[in-house]
Amino acid sequence: MRYKMTRKGLVIGVSLFHLFTFSPLSAQEHSKYIQAVDEYRPAPGQFVNDAPEYEEGDTEADMLRKCNENVAGLGPLDAHLVALGGWGGYITFHFDHSIANIPGQRDFAVWGNAYQEMKNLVFGGMNEAGIVMVSKDTNGNGLPDDPWYEISGSCDADSVGKVVYDYEVTYHQNPMGDIPWTDNLGQSGTIDRNHYHPQEYYPQWLPDGLTFSGTRLPDNMYNLSDKVDSGWSPYYYVLIGFRYGYADNLPNFTDNADATSYNIEGCGIDIAWAVDEARQPVNLDFIDFVRVYTGLNQKCPQPEWWGETSTEFMGAEDLHLEASLDAIRQATGIQPPRNGECGAWSENTPAYDLLGRRINISPSSLLPPPSSSSPSHSSKKTIIISNGKKYLSK
């Protein structure tokens, strides 16, 4: 997913730095819910400028603050919707710790507002699937400016030949009118206004000519109007669910009457499903950032009905907080020294950076360990962890 405008993401706190150096790795000190939103760039849509609300003069920073108010630190019962608009619109967020890829388990869940249609005619029914991407903060700067990998959801297996990779759409402003788009396949269309949502549909804090790139999932909207009593509803369109691996695809709960019945199967994401641009699996041990973008480009043919398909986001959570923190302890080398060397550092002793990557470094390049009472280090120095002790490189 490349965002083709020059505007850069806003600076966020260096949470990883604090985690690895000064905070005890206890579950009480960390949250399984997201810490903050890094980017919010929706495509046009009927809920855009409304969820969250754009007010005259709002900047991108204002809209990020409003997104945080809606979802940061909140579970799906307390969060408020953030709308991503039509195909390609996205949100990027992070947690207060790295999420580990635990083998054989789904690692985090993304919550939305999908639901099972009332007649139980199909699997799902209100699936506005968003594609999930993950990234590791490999340059350690706390910003989502590192390589991104897409989560390969069930369409890659179930709809071979129907998924469009390397898709691209550009939207143009048309104040208080239907919003026109063109794609890189020579097609065009509009995001149509309806009388339920009277506000402007183009994100008003963003410039004209928004271009989004990524994967387009196969259309999933079906007209089942002839399957229902016309007295109950004159029209009945459903959006059939995909099996796994997307956001806003299947309901947050398996039983609507049970607020503890979290749908881990339907909403959980396994980091092991991440693939590179050649759709080959990548072997990520941790991830630090998650992005979700609307994966469907379709609208309901019946005016004033569903309108465009738009992913809604209602937060996310680490499904195994304790296991993530344990894995961070392991990766940073905070464990008993090997070979009976009681903390003595030598070139043969494994050393790691703050992301748990093994590094090679000579003893002469190390300064004494930083004091935890004076947490102000020059950003030019690198913190090294070896045998559970911290060192600063010169």
Instruction: Decide: 77 and 118 in contact? Cβ < 8 Å.
Output: no
Distance CA 394, CA 299 (A): 58
- Residue number, 139 or 365, with CB nearest to Ca ion: 139
Residue 271 CB, nearest distance to Ca ion (Å)?
A: 5
CB nearer to Ca ion: give 286 or 352. 286
CA-based nearest residue to 202, from 86, 311, 111, 104: 86
308 binds Ca ion (CB under 5 A): no
141 near Ca ion (CB under 5 A): yes
Judged by beta carbon, residue 114 or residue 163, the one nearer Ca ion is 114
Of 267, 272, 276, the residue nearest 285 (C-alpha):
272
Find the shortest distance in angstroms from Cβ 98 to Ca ion: 12
Interaction between residue 143 and Ca ion (CB under 5 A): yes
How many residues sit in the footprint of Ca ion (CB under 5 A)?
17
Of these, 39, 96, 107, 117, which contacts Ca ion (CB under 5 A)?
Answer: 107
- Could you tell me which stretch among 31-39, 136-144, 166-174, 343-351 binds Ca ion (CB under 5 A)? 136-144
Asked if residues 262 and 252 have their Cβ atoms less than 8 Å apart, the reply is yes
**Closer residue to Ca ion (CB): 168 or 270:** 270
C-alpha 181/C-alpha 187 separation (Å) is 8
For residue 52, say if its preceding peptide bond is cis, omega within 30 degrees of 0. Answer: yes
Q: Which segment (149-157, 214-222, 262-270, 352-360) binds Ca ion by CB under 5 A?
A: 262-270
Q: How far is the CB of 309 from Ca ion (least distance, A)?
A: 8
Judged by CB under 5 A, the stretch of 75-83, 164-172, 305-313, 371-379 that binds Ca ion is 305-313
If one asks whether residue 145 binds Ca ion (CB under 5 A), the answer comes out as yes
Min CB(343)–Ca ion separation in Å = 31
Residue whose CB is less far from Ca ion, 103 or 161: 103
Considering beta carbons, is residue 272 or 292 the nearer one to Ca ion? 272
The CB-of-212 to Ca ion minimum distance in angstroms stands at 18
Question: Per rule CB under 5 A, is residue 150 in the interface with Ca ion?
Answer: no
When binding is defined by CB under 5 A, the residue of 137, 168, 183, 318 that contacts Ca ion is 137
Position among 248, 317, 318, 353 found at the interface with Ca ion (CB under 5 A): 248
- The answer to the question of residue 135 lying near Ca ion (CB under 5 A) is no
- Contact between 4 and 206 under an 8 Å Cβ cutoff? The reply is no
Distance CA 143, CA 11 (A): 7
Strand pairing of 130-135 and 274-275?
Answer: unpaired
Q: Figure out which of the listed residues 59, 139, 225, 330 binds Ca ion, where binding follows CB under 5 A.
A: 139
For Ca ion, the binding residues in 154-213 under the rule CB under 5 A are: none
CB of 259 to Ca ion, least distance (A): 19
Task: List alpha helices for 136-282, DSSP H.
Answer: 155-158, 264-267
Nearest to 97 by CA among 10, 11, 21, 8: 21
CB 299 within 8 A of CB 8: no
What is the rounded distance in angstroms from the CA atom of residue 200 to the CA atom of residue 198? 7
Closer residue to Ca ion (CB): 137 or 318 = 137
Residue 183 pairs in a beta bridge with: 169
**Using CB under 5 A, which of the segments 50-58, 69-77, 94-102, 213-221 binds Ca ion?**
94-102
DSSP string for 281-350: B---SEEEEEEEEE----B-SSTTSS-B---EE--EEETTHHHHHHHHHHHTT-SPPGGG--S---TTS-
79: Cα separation from own chain's centroid? 15
**Using the rule CB under 5 A, which residue among 23, 113, 170, 182 binds Ca ion?**
113
The verdict on 128 binding Ca ion (CB under 5 A) reads yes
Q: Measured between alpha carbons, how far is residue 158 from residues 85, 93, 217, 243 in Å?
A: 25, 29, 11, 9
Q: Is residue 132 a contact point for Ca ion (CB under 5 A)?
A: no
β pairing state of 366-367 and 358-359: unpaired
CB of 352 to Ca ion, least distance (A): 18
Q: Which residue is it, tokens 């699936």?
A: 127
Q: 312, 317, 318, 353: which one contacts Ca ion (CB under 5 A)?
A: 312
Residues at the interface with Ca ion (CB under 5 A): 101-102, 105, 107, 113, 128, 137, 139, 141, 143, 145-146, 248, 270-272, 312
